[in-house]
A and B are shown apart, each in its own frame.
Chain A
């Protein structure tokens, strides 16, 4: 074991490899922060070039891009209300609100520190008990996925406060929108009205960008007064203090655990992890009504969880050859160009390579902290730009961000549609977050239910009475009842 580690250290700690990891982190953060570009695309484009490198350098580069990209998405989520990468979708809820108060640097600081903590946590876990975790992950079947999704959906009830009915309407609408397109279970088109435009379904990225960024741009063009407020409000470039992070230790630990575990599960990845992390933070919080108003916990929870999912997603990839996320699926290509096949054999035959990858990810997550804190200082000044200039630029980035996900013009219209919906929702006090949660988790909820029921021949008791799924569901039900019974001091509303 010690020998393997020494070999790994030798592999990684040479100037060229370190430079590659540093470059990979910077590239990842950049790609993540630009809406429309993300680390999945970045790794896909880099694979041909890793052909010329040694396997260790190539894979170190890809993992560094992956780690950096997962954090990078939060930068534009916080600054512009546009998630730069899908993983950062949940960061929009509180990140942008915090930046609006002139505390962008702090918001970015929380994001990078928690990303780093989450990332390191998951890599350590991965190093210690990878094969064991992968084995447990395999015991998760459709009922467990369903229970997981339902638990996160109950967040809608805790988010609703007094406007519970409206929150539920918003959540149901999101779930409904997730059904548009080809039904994954039967291949039938749904709600496409005979056309081809909607056959690919409604991607949640254009919808989030529309509801948040475009909705805000529309509201601002109506009022036009607020721009002065941004000018006047003090822009602080102060970073969060260590004390403030320590205060959130349990939340960070919980999110890291959730993130790592969801990352390990095949079929769900960092995005789901971020939402579940956020949901649990709300559930366990003493002041759930403050979520969505720009509080540190609302940034820390999803950011810890989504970066923890990066390490988690590598677990099934390295031990079983099963990628836990879209980007790790691409990273398989990085193994293949060197004639390597990730999986159990590689773990046995090339332990040094495996531990070098662990080490590279550990390093990437640490370097990310330095890159991120620098970025936070510089980028927080963006809020100084007046809205009449910034607004249209945000719109263009929103449009590119929506279009770039699938290169599909339909996504522009989806963004616009959700922009108008977002505008009305704000106006009539329908919270937006439940709609997004519904949209992101809709497919997982529906399909795990229908697929799972088909597997047990539509026997509901066989579907529900499973130890893990049952326990998760019971917790979900109790938490719904609790949040309905509990009186809330304030109504939580978006914006």
Chain B
């Protein structure tokens, strides 16, 4: 845990440093000479760097103390696989939704996700997935005019059949 602690602090520090240089590039106008667009972010980033370094030092000290007590093993257990699969599903869903459209993609995504979480009852999975999708499409596009992604090509034609 402490190793992770230090890595996280390092990431925060590095990220802040990167963004700090990014903030240096913000344009300023003569009209807003003082307290320009970069002022506040830079202030925040400096505080972030100081605090993350502090947390890392703390963790480093504690780690020295705790080193002998327990060892941390980066186990690649089934939980991690499931977590990564879940992340993969979400990324895939968001990537594909523009192409395939909400109405076509969502039921399959839901079924896959339910399976991943350990659901095995087919009737429930299919019923709920299609039911929820239909409900959302109806309420959002027909009643409230929220434009859900329609997809492209053949999927667009299919989506336009409904909304």
Contacts and interface: CB of A to CB of B under 8 A. Distances in A.
Contact of B79 (A37, A165, A223): A223
Given A34-B139, A222-B82, A420-B87, A190 B23 contact: yes
Given A227-B117, A400-B136, A458-B35, A179 B41 contact: yes
A3 interface: no
Contacts of A387: 117
Contacts of B36: 186
B140 A404 contact: yes
A229 interface: no
Contacts of B110: 392-393, 396
B87 to A, nearest CB: 7
A386 to B, nearest CB: 7
B83 A218 contact: yes
B115 to A, nearest CB: 8
Of A45, A172, A419, A424, which is in contact with the most chain B CB atoms at under 10 Å from its CB?
A172
B91 A36 contact: no
Given A407-B147, A453-B34, A169 B48 contact: yes
B86 A218 contact: yes
B53 to A, nearest CB: 10
Interface in B93-150: 94, 97-98, 106, 109-110, 113-114, 116-119, 124-125, 128-129, 132-133, 136, 139-140, 144-149
A190 B26 contact: yes
Interface in B61-104: 79-80, 82-83, 85-87, 90-91, 94, 97-98
B118 A224 contact: yes
Nearest to B114: A392
A183 B117 contact: no
Nearest to A446: B40
A222 B84 CA distance: 9
Given A166-B55, A176-B45, A227-B118, A407 B146 contact: yes
Interface string A188-226: 101101000000000000000000001001101111100
B144 A173 contact: no
Interface residues of B, number: 67
A40 to B, nearest CB: 12
Nearest to B106: A396
A223 to B, nearest CB: 6
A456 to B, nearest CB: 11
Contact of A172 (B47, B118, B132): B47
A391 B113 contact: yes
B144 A191 contact: no
B94 A412 contact: yes
B161 interface: no
Contacts of A413: 94
A287 interface: no
Given A186-B29, A409-B98, A400 B114 contact: no
A67 interface: no
Contacts of A416: 90-91, 94
Given A220-B117, A389-B128, 18 more contacts: A37-B146, A165-B51, A172-B51, A175-B44, A185-B37, A188-B28, A190-B23, A224-B79, A227-B117, A392-B113, A396-B109, A396-B133, A404-B140, A413-B94, A420-B87, A450-B40, A454-B32, A454-B35
19 contacts: A165-B51, A169-B48, A172-B44, A186-B28, A186-B32, A190-B41, A218-B83, A221-B117, A222-B79, A222-B82, A388-B114, A389-B114, A391-B117, A396-B133, A404-B140, A409-B98, A428-B8, A453-B35, A454-B34
